[in-house]
């Protein structure tokens, strides 16, 4: 029997039709009335109310469990979660220390949520994503991945982007690109572009030793060019001795003192670009 495209159909009815209309009707007729009362059809173009979970389980191989699309300025999928009030002890998550009854609007995990944050911990969060460590021989697990030919992820607000973890943020530019670019509000150098609270470490900095009787040392460092800005100072107290010049070249730079040191001496250096 052909479907009437002008008649709202429930999800249950659509799934039954796909599996075979006759078999579905027969199964419904044989079911007890008490069982039928528990199921409420989900209708399209209708604000469906429910006090229990509505779920769709897809056991197919490489099939899409749920798909939606939209034309126009409205979103294809709108999800929200209101802050509730627990009226009974059973409505509160047993792991919730404060009686919070709200959670993220979207709670996503892949491939499992074994060690994901409990629902109550995601309150006041629009989207929460979780992924355990990867079991693949290469690559890494990603909870949320934003991919675009322009901006993959954009954050706005009092704090645009915040990261908490052993490494709060890791950024890697493509070959020949830039890992992190920062600029102030006006973009013209009049506002603070980078504010570091605490120590900062740089891979192109270090400490070297000038041997006794020597007045210079050549240090090899990949990425150094003739246009690099290299700074160096003596770290050992040597009366009358100081760094006279630092001369960079391709892949190295040489630190020159004004005179040879009579004992081995430390110099510390820093390559700015």
7-32 confidence digits (pLDDT tens): 444 433 333 333 343 333 344 444 44
d(CA 110, CA 129): 8
Peptide bond into 111 cis (omega under 30): yes
d(CA 60, CA 161): 37
**Residue 95 and residue 122 in contact, taking contact as beta carbons nearer than 8 Å:** no
Q: What is the pTM of this model?
A: 0.70
Digit-coded pLDDT (tens) for 106-118: 999 999 999 999 8
* Cis peptide upstream of residue 215 (ω within 30 degrees of 0): no
Three-state DSSP class for residue 191: coil
Of residues 89 and 196, more confidence is placed in 196
């Amino acid at each position: 029997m052909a479907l009437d495209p002008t008649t709202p159909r429930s999800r249950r009815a659509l799934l039954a039709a796909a599996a075979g209309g006759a078999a579905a009707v027969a199964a419904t007729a044989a079911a007890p009335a008490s069982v039928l009362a528990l199921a409420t059809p989900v209708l399209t173009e209708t604000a469906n109310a429910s006090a229990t979970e509505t779920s769709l389980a897809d056991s197919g191989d490489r099939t899409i469990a749920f798909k939606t699309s939209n034309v126009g300025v409205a979103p294809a999928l709108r999800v929200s979660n209101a802050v509730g009030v627990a009226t009974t002890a059973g409505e509160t998550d047993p792991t919730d220390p404060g009686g919070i009854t709200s959670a993220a609007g979207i709670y996503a995990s892949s491939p499992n949520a074994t060690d994901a944050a409990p629902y109550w911990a995601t309150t006041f969060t629009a989207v929460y994503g979780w992924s355990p460590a990867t079991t693949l021989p290469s690559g890494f697990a990603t909870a949320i991945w934003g991919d675009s030919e322009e901006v993959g992820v954009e954050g706005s607000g009092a704090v645009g982007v915040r990261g908490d973890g052993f490494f709060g943020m890791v950024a890697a530019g493509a070959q020949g690109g830039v890992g992190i670019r920062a600029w102030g509000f006006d973009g013209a150098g009049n506002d603070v572009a980078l504010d570091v609270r605490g120590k900062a470490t740089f891979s192109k900095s270090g400490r070297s030793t000038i041997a006794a009787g020597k007045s210079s040392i050549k240090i090899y460092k990949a990425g150094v060019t003739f246009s690099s800005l290299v700074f160096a100072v003596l770290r050992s107290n040597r009366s009358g001795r100081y760094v006279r010049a630092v001369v960079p070249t391709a892949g190295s730079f040489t630190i020159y003192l004004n005179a040879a040191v009579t004992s081995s001496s430390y110099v510390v250096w820093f390559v700015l670009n």
